Every structure is written in structure tokens, then in C-alpha cells.
Amino acid sequence: MAAFGTQFTAKMVTSRFRDGQWSNPEVVPVEPFSMHPATHVLHYASECFEGLKAYRTESGDIHLFRPDRHVARMLNSAAQLLLPIPDEAALTRSLHMAVAAVADEIPAYPGALYLRPTLLGTEEDIGAAARPTQKALYYVLTSPVGDYFAGGLQPLRVKVEDRMQRCTPSFGAVKTGGNYAAAMRQIVQARKELGADQVLFAPGGVVQETGAANFILIVGKEVFTKPLDGSILPGITRDCILALAADAGLSVREEDFSVAELLAHAPQAEAALTGTAAVLTPVGELVYEGETIRVGDGQMGPWSTRLREQLCAIQSGTADDPHGWRTPLEA
């Protein structure tokens, strides 16, 4: 299968905002947009997006995974960016329509259909740097994805960065392209200079998250992670893993912890990234100020293995879904 993010289905769902109103979402062919060079998003980055998955289980049933939470997060992103806010029910329906339109192209688990709802400002006005766009468009692009971990689950090497920040502090909970643009240079540099897979941002010495995933630290029977204070993305996988950890009898500690605490605990701890693409991926090494600190024995630990397997079993449909995370596809 092609690399993640490079293969798309031929149909998507779109809706446009004009004259104060959203049009009814419709299924259209995936084809290039024509845009005036003055389009708002091209100048003032008025855009936000989401990433979620639909799965086909062994019995052939199709479900979307926690679409309600992704829709809520997208509406919040839109509100923070002063973009026209889609109607919640219409956006939810758009996700189902996008999946239904390509239902026979959803690979069986561990493959999935990745959904990329995207909202952008389309007003043609380069004078609107400090004025919200009055026109907008959202679309739901879909991409069949294979097993992200086909090559095996390799523990990651992660640079701990305690000076630079991932994004502007008040925008941490907003899923907008500008945040990724802001973090990119740090990540590329860490890869080049340290062979790191990712950067764990900890501005001022407080551990936050990486460029595209949340971070958890498991010490004994306690799971530590940054609280949702607006500085990090409220990850939906994070929420799942914390719920499963609590179910398994771990104590969930959503509280700030420092780089010094992280590094002191690391040799006896487990650490992992959580996210839709990564599910739960172990961190084997931290790199801080040129020094490499091994996390546990450098391999995936028992709690990480168990929590990952439990979440995968719910996503694949082989385990019960006590929290109601699977949402059957509405025809």
C-alpha cells in the first residue's frame, strides 16, 4: 500500500458557507480546487482540520471511531480561528456520507479508512488580515490506509526540547496548519542532528506533547500526562488510553511534570506517544542536551503493550466496546 497520506479515494463530501449559510453537504469527485490568488486561507492561514478513522471489522461491519469527539474538536478549532462554524449535525452527517460513498474501498483491519475533514476560509480579500473570512468551505477527504506498523513497532527516539514551543500557547488545543508549520523546523532539525523521530516539547521545562501526538509516562501503577489546559491538543486517543488505564486499575494523574522529573523516572518507567495514526507507540530513548536516556529497557513495556492491544481490539471489533466508542456507519 502507498505511504500514509498519499493515496485517496475518488469521492469526497463538501459544503460551502456563503451569505451566512452552509450549503447541504454533497458527495463530489475529488479534484483540484480552483482558487483566486487572494483567497483568505492562502494568506492568513484560516484553516483547521481533523484526522479520524473508520474501520471494517471481521464481521464486515463498518464503524467510525469516536466521530462525536472529532466533530466537537473541529467546531472548537473553527470557533478559535473565527472561521464560520459548521453545523454539528451536518458535519457529522458529512463524515458518514464520506465513508458510505467509498464503503467498498475500506481495507479490512488493521487497515482503515482515514478521514481528513478540512475547513478553510475562501473569501477573496487580502485586506482581511484581521477580519474573519465571510466565505468558507469544508471537505471530507478519505484515504485507505494499511497497517501503520507493518514493519513492526519500533520504540522511538525522542528529543526533549525545553526552550522552543510547539505553537503559540493559546492555540495548543486548536488543530490548525499553522501549529504544524511552527513545529516543523524543530522536528526536521532533531531528525537531522540527533536521529530523533520526534520532538517532545517542554517549554519552560514543563512536559507537553510531541509535534503530532500526546505523551504519557507510566511509573509503577501511575500514568502521568499533561492536563488539558489549552496548551496541548486534547487527543482522542489520549482520552481512550487514559480511560483504559483507569479500567485496568492504573491511577491516572493529569498533572504537570517537569523535564527533570521525566528524566529521573525514565530508566524505571514506560513512555509512549498516543494519536490516531500512532495509536500508542513506545518511546525507547529520550535525548536531552545531547545525552541519550533510555526509557525502561528501551523496549515496549507491559502496560504500553496491554493498553495498546486493548484499544486495537476495540477498534478492530474483536473486543466489547464498554465506553461506546464505535459508531456504526449510518447509511
Ligand X SMILES: Cc1ncc(COP(=O)(O)O)c(C=O)c1O
The residue ranges that bind ligand X (CB under 6 A) are 51, 209, 212-214, 233, 235-238, 274-276
Least distance between ligand X and beta carbon 331 (Å): 26
Using the minimum distance from each CB to ligand X, give the nearer residue, 124 or 309. Answer: 309
Q: Are 222 and 250 in contact (CB under 8 A)?
A: yes
Distance of closest approach, residue 19 Cβ to ligand X, in angstroms: 33
Q: Which C-beta is closer to ligand X: that of 14 or that of 281?
A: 281
**Least Å distance between CB 231 and ligand X?**
11
Shorter beta-carbon distance to ligand X: residue 118 or 133: 118
Which of 44, 215 has the CB closer to ligand X? 215
Q: Are strands 214-219 and 222-225 parallel, antiparallel or unpaired?
A: antiparallel
Q: How far is the CB of 144 from ligand X (least distance, A)?
A: 18
CA–CA dist 8, 24 (Å, integer) = 23
Q: With respect to ligand X, which residue has the nearer C-beta, 213 or 218?
A: 213
Instruction: State which residue, 82 or 184, has the beta carbon closest to ligand X.
Output: 184
Closest to 307 (Cα-Cα) out of 267, 284, 278, 287: 278
Q: Smallest distance, Å, CB 259 to ligand X?
A: 18
- Single out the residue of 79, 110, 95, 123 nearest to residue 15, CA to CA: 95
CB 76, min distance to ligand X, A: 12
Closest distance between ligand X and the C-beta of residue 51, in Å?
A: 5
- The least distance separating ligand X from the CB of residue 178, rounded to whole angstroms, comes to 12
Question: CB-wise, 212 or 244, nearer to ligand X?
Answer: 212
Comparing CB distances to ligand X, the nearer of 200 and 236 is 236
Contact 250, 269 (CB under 8 A): no
Closest CB to ligand X among 44 and 171?
Answer: 171
Residue 261 CA to residue 202 CA, distance in Å, equals: 12
CB atoms within 10 A of CB 327: 18
Tell me the closest approach of the beta carbon of residue 297 to ligand X, in angstroms: 26
